[in-house]
Amino acid sequence: MNKIISIVLALGIVLCMWWSGLQNGRAARMRADYRLASTVPMENAPPLIAFTTVALGGFSTLIADALWFRVSMLQDEGRFFELVQLSDWITKLEPRCGEIWTFHAWNMAYNISIMMPDQEDRWRWVRRGIELLRDEGVRYNPGDPQVYQELGWLFLHKIAGITDQTHMYYKAMWAGEMTALFDGGYPDYDKLSKQPDILRKVTEEYKLNPEIMRRIDAEYGPRDWRMSETHALYWAVCGRNRCWDERGLSCERLILQSLGEMFKHESLPAGPDKLVVPLDMGLFQKIMKAYESARKRFPSEKYFMLSQAGFMREAVVIFYTHDRKTEARALFDRLAVEFPTPDMAGGFEAFVTAITSRNNYK
């Protein structure tokens, strides 16, 4: 009798093992889809990351879920003090999943910051979001365009944008930090290379590579590094450099968006001596060149064509309002040929008036 029972149990074990083996393929495919298991070992990973990625195995996802639930619960209750640590742990548990990094950075910079009554507190949470991606997200996902794109977006939309009521404070704070770092908005790279303390701060604290900065200045500038759009551009360029073919699409878009915002005439808040950045015609040419380049790289992607058309339409109005009517008309003519739309039928003046009225109504 004992023998029969033993045989039956042994057969049962074999059956279970066979069935679980069948699931293995599906599980492996899902893990690959969600980038939960990297086939490339993380080099020079700190002990915690090595532990979570290797020792915990699949349990790291379960733990991350539990922690994420706690984040949601605490956030609903308005208790934010623990969220930085929890976000840190969740990202460490799934370091190779870019979505997790971007979600938590966005959550801190957008959802939590808006719950703060004071602008200092809001800025602190926006910075937390930026630091999460800049200091660690990029490090553990160097080839993930999503991380760069979100980081750039935080600079472009949250700080440089106008939707947040506290945006002027953010701009002022960021400009202040950059001024202290570069002694103004335009770094002297030669001087910087001879100042090891400042150079270390630039590279280790702000994670900025002066060589890339120099190349950005050469290609699109010189750019004012006090402006957050410039930093959005920086991270988008970094992302594009690390990602090839279609993977760099989102970063390419962000580059053009950043450049477009820069061109749209932003002024820096600086108290009594408020700075106003003048219209940069050289930048316009560079933006157009960037669009051409993007359209060549991604010929099937309609976005760049439509975006260029939109940019040119706005540029017509900008030129007009800055009393550069000749450039405006030339651009309008070009627009009518390359991207004709029904509202151009009434001619240049009518077009400008219509666009201006629409912008004012908004």
Partner 1 sequence: MTRIIAIASLQIRAAVRSKLFISLTAVLVLILFGLPATIKGDGTLLGQMKVLLYYTLGLTTLVLGAATLWTSSGAISQEIESRQIHLVAVKPVHPFEIWLGKWLGLLFMNATLLCFTGLIIMGLIHRNINGAGRSDQERRIVREELLAGRSLIRPRDTLQQEAGNRYHTLLKKGVISADIPPEEALSEIRKQLLTENTVVPPLSSRQWVLEVPDNLNIPEEGDKTGIALKLRFSPVRAGTNSVSGRWNIGTERRSTLASMVVSNKLDGMHQMTIPITRELMKEVIAEPGRKMIVEYRNDGKERSRTLVFDRISGIELYIRESGFESNLVRALLVVLCRLALLAALGLAASTLFSSPVATFASFSILLVSCLTHYFIILSEAGFHSCCAEHAEKASKDSVFQTANTWTIKKVETVIGPVMRIEAVGPLSDGALVSWKDVGKAALLMAVFYPALLGAAGVLLFRRRELALPYT
Binding site for partner 1 (CB under 8 A): 66, 69, 72-73, 76-85, 88, 114-119, 121-122, 124-125, 128, 165
Cis bond upstream, residue 222 (ω within 30): yes
Which CB atom, from 118 or from 343, has the smaller least distance to partner 1?
118
**CB-wise, 88 or 99, nearer to partner 1?**
88
Residue 185: name the closest of 222, 153, 220 by CA.
Answer: 222
Tokens of 51: 């532990």
Residue 161's H or E segment, with its range, is none
- Residue 56 or 199 with smaller CB distance to partner 1: 56
- Least separation, in Å, of the C-beta of 117 and partner 1? 5
Nearer CB in complex with partner 1: 75/353: 75
Tokens of 218: 């050469």
| Nearest distance, CB of residue 138 and partner 1, angstroms | 18
The torsion of the CA quartet 276, 279, 285, 289, rounded to 10 degrees, works out to 40
Of 207, 227, 230, 228, nearest in space to 217 by CA? 230
Q: Residue 252: which residues within 8 A CB-CB, separation 6 or more?
A: 236, 240, 294, 297, 298, 304
CA 272 and chain centroid, separation: 32
Could you give the C-alpha distances from 232 to 108, 122, 205, 253, in angstroms and in order?
A: 18, 20, 17, 11
CB of 124 to partner 1, least distance (A): 5
Min dist CB 95 to partner 1, Å, is 16
Nearby residues of 272 by Cβ (< 8 Å), 6 or more positions away: none
> Left if phi > 0, otherwise alpha if psi is -120 to 50, otherwise beta: which for 265?
left
State in angstroms the smallest separation of the CB of 83 from partner 1: 7
* Nearest-approach distance from CB 72 to partner 1, in angstroms: 8
Which residue number, 122 or 158, has a Cβ lying nearer to partner 1?
122
- The least distance separating partner 1 from the CB of residue 319, rounded to whole angstroms, comes to 30
Whose Cβ is closer to partner 1: residue 60's or residue 308's? 60
Nearer Cβ to partner 1 (120/343): 120
